[in-house]
Structures are given as structure tokens and as C-alpha cells.
């Protein structure tokens, strides 16, 4: 029996499609801009998503398909209820939404304290399943909305979201600080000064000081963006309780990974960078294996 299947990491603006075998070997993959917003702009609705999946199968083959991410949101193919934490890979697989006998959507997770995620849970579970992170660990997924997840026994025990990346984008594009935030953002003296300043806990005060320091010549205008980024990321890291000796496993691209690695080290912690694509593949294979197991038990 051929155990190949298609996995889709279907986000708001982009998606990545994989043709995999049951062992998790990537046979073929592609990425495009056909996120849920793009499908919605062309009419949306179940018929539009069904047509998208038909096109994916025309390209990768007529295989079973498991999709994760915003495709399960109110903007997506079907509104799939969140699964409450704590949640294991087996529980996620048991809560899949079946579009038909060969097509499923991963449910996403909620935290009882008031938080949600769609898509990130596959990477979190996969990081542990692949041995990229230990079963009991603190995982971080930097981005527009940074996710911090506590893993216990390989399950997602709890998580919270910080609007770190979105806040920086808003400040850079629409705030009083905008004209001062055109410089580069990279690990260096200005970024680390921002991380250091975040220890005061007075983030709003410090952000206004970004403009004032530039106007008074206390900091070069070109360093303002890196300093503001350090303030935000430093606040994010400290808010997650990262301190002396704390281990953090980062699912991040190299650019954000370098910034969070620097901030975590400055706060006394230690980071481990994980390949987020490898984690997604391992997570979706674990879910697919559970589908097979559930089908055999029926």
C-alpha cells in the first residue's frame, strides 16, 4: 500500500504544500501566495477551497490531504472548533475535521486562559516527535504574533501569544516613531541596549524615549529601529519568564532566530534553534499516522 499523502501548512497570506511518504520523507514541496485571504478575495466559500485542493492534487498527485492553519478558521474552508489544552498529538488527530473521506483539517488549539493558535500546534508537537526538543520544554515561535508554549510529556500543556512583530510593524508604519524607525534591525549595540532597557518594565515610557533620544542626539537616528526592536523583543522574552539558566527552543527563521537568541542570552537564558519546516513535517506525519491507527481500530 502506498502511504504517500499531501500536507498543507495553510496560512493567512501564504501556504506551503508537501508531498510526503509515511516516514516523513519530503518527495516534493512548493510554496505560494494562495493563503486564505487570496482565496477569499476570489469569492471564498467551500467551493473555492475545494477548487484549490483539486489544483494541489493535480500538481502533487491524487493523494489523501491533511491541512493545518487558517484554513480551519472562519475565513477558511470550514470553521473547525479549537481543541483545548493540554493536547497531545493523538488528541489533535482525534479531533480532525473531515471534509471527506480523504481530506482533513487540523483543529488548532485554545488555552483556557484566553488564547488561540492555528497551525503552530503542528510544529510544536512535531518538534518533540522528531526529537528536536525534549518532551518537557519551553518552545517559542517568533513572528507577527509570537507564540510561547510549555510542553509537558510531549503535549502542549499551555501557551500564550505576544503581538511583538505586529506592534513593531504598527510603530514603524503608523506611529509617532515611524520616521525614526527606517534603519536596519540586527543584533548589535543598539539592539542590546533596547533589550537591557526592557528590564525596567516601563515599555510605553521607553518607546516614547526612542523619539526623544533621537531628537536630543542621545542616540543616532539610524539606531532607533534596532533599539525599539530590542525593547519589544526583550519585553517579550522577559514576559515569558526567561531568566538565568532557562532553556528555550526556537522555531524561527535565521533573522528572527538571531534576534531572539541574543535577547534570550542577554536575559540569562540559552536558546536552541529548530528547523520549523522539519518540525511541521514531523508533526503532520504524527497526525497522519494517528489517522491510520484510528481507521484500523474502527
Please list the pLDDT of the chain residue by residue as tens digits (298 residues): 589 999 999 999 999 999 999 889 999 999 999 999 999 876 668 999 999 999 999 999 999 999 999 999 999 999 999 999 999 999 999 999 999 999 999 999 999 999 999 999 999 999 999 999 999 999 999 999 999 999 999 999 999 999 999 999 999 999 999 999 999 999 999 999 999 999 999 999 999 999 999 999 999 999 999 999 999 999 999 999 999 999 999 999 999 999 999 999 999 999 999 999 999 999 999 999 877 665 555 4
Q: What is the pLDDT of residue 40?
A: 83
244: exposed, middle or buried (Cβ count in 10 Å: 0-12, 13-18, 19+): exposed
Q: What's the CATH code, domain 162-274?
A: 3.30.420.310
Measured over the CA atoms of residue 134, residue 135, residue 140 and residue 141, the dihedral's sign is: positive
Comparing CA positions, the residue from 190, 258, 277 lying closest to residue 226 is 190
Rounded CA separation 244/246 (Å):
6
Do 5-132+277-297 and 162-274 share a fold?
A: yes
pTM higher than the cut 0.75: yes
Q: What is the pLDDT of residue 298?
A: 43
Beta strands across the sheet bearing 247-251:
155-162, 146-152, 137-141, 247-251, 270-274
Q: What is the pLDDT of residue 45?
A: 84
Beta strands across the sheet bearing 26-32:
26-32, 15-20, 5-10, 65-69, 103-105, 97-100
Rounded CA separation 8/18 (Å):
6
**Cell numbers for 97:** 475535521
* Strands 155-162, 5-10: pairing kind: unpaired
**Cell numbers for 160:** 500564550
The answer to whether the CB of 155 falls within 8 A of the CB of 86 is yes
What percent helix, strand, coil does the chain show, rounded to 5?
45, 25, 30
* Strands 146-152, 155-162: pairing kind: antiparallel
Report which DSSP code applies to 79: -
* In CATH, 5-132+277-297 is 3.30.420.300: yes
Domain ranges across the chain: 5-132+277-297, 162-274
Amino acid at each position: 500500500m502506498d502511504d504517500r499523502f499531501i500536507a498543507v501548512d495553510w496560512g493567512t497570506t501564504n501556504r506551503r504544500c508537501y508531498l510526503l511518504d509515511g516516514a516523513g520523507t519530503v518527495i516534493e514541496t512548493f510554496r505560494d501566495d494562495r493563503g486564505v485571504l487570496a482565496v477569499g478575495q476570489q469569492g471564498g466559500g467551500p467551493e473555492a477551497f475545494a477548487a484549490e485542493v483539486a489544483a494541489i492534487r493535480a500538481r502533487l498527485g491524487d493523494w489523501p490531504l491533511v491541512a493545518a492553519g487558517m484554513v480551519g478558521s472562519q475565513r477558511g474552508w470550514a470553521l473547525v472548533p479549537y481543541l483545548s489544552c493540554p493536547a497531545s498529538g493523538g488528541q489533535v488527530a482525534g479531533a480532525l475535521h473531515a471534509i471527506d473521506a480523504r481530506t482533513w483539517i487540523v483543529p488548532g488549539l485554545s488555552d483556557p486562559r484566553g488564547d488561540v493558535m492555528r497551525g503552530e500546534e503542528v510544529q510544536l508537537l512535531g518538534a518533540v516527535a522528531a526529537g528536536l526538543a525534549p518532551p518537557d520544554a519551553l518552545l517559542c515561535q517568533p513572528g507577527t504574533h509570537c507564540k510561547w508554549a510549555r510542553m509537558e510529556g510531549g503535549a502542549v500543556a499551555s501557551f500564550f501569544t505576544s503581538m511583538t512583530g505586529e506592534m513593531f510593524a504598527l510603530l514603524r508604519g503608523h506611529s509617532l516613531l515611524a520616521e525614526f524607525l527606517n534603519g536596519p534591525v540586527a543584533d548589535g549595540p543598539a539592539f542590546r541596549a533596547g533589550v537591557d532597557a526592557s528590564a525596567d518594565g516601563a515599555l510605553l515610557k521607553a518607546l516614547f524615549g526612542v523619539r526623544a533620544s533621537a531628537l536630543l542626539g542621545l542616540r543616532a537616528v539610524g539606531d532607533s529601529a534596532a533599539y525599539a526592536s530590542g525593547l519589544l523583543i526583550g519585553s517579550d522574552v522577559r514576559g515569558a519568564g526567561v531568566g538565568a539558566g532557562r532553556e528555550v527552543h526556537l522555531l524561527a527563521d535565521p533573522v528572527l532566530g538571531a534576534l531572539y537568541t541574543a535577547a534570550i542570552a542577554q536575559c540569562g537564558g540559552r536558546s536552541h534553534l529548530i528547523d520549523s519546516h522539519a518540525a511541521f513535517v514531523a508533526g503532520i506525519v504524527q497526525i497522519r499516522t494517528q489517522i491510520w491507527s484510528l481507521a484500523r481500530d474502527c
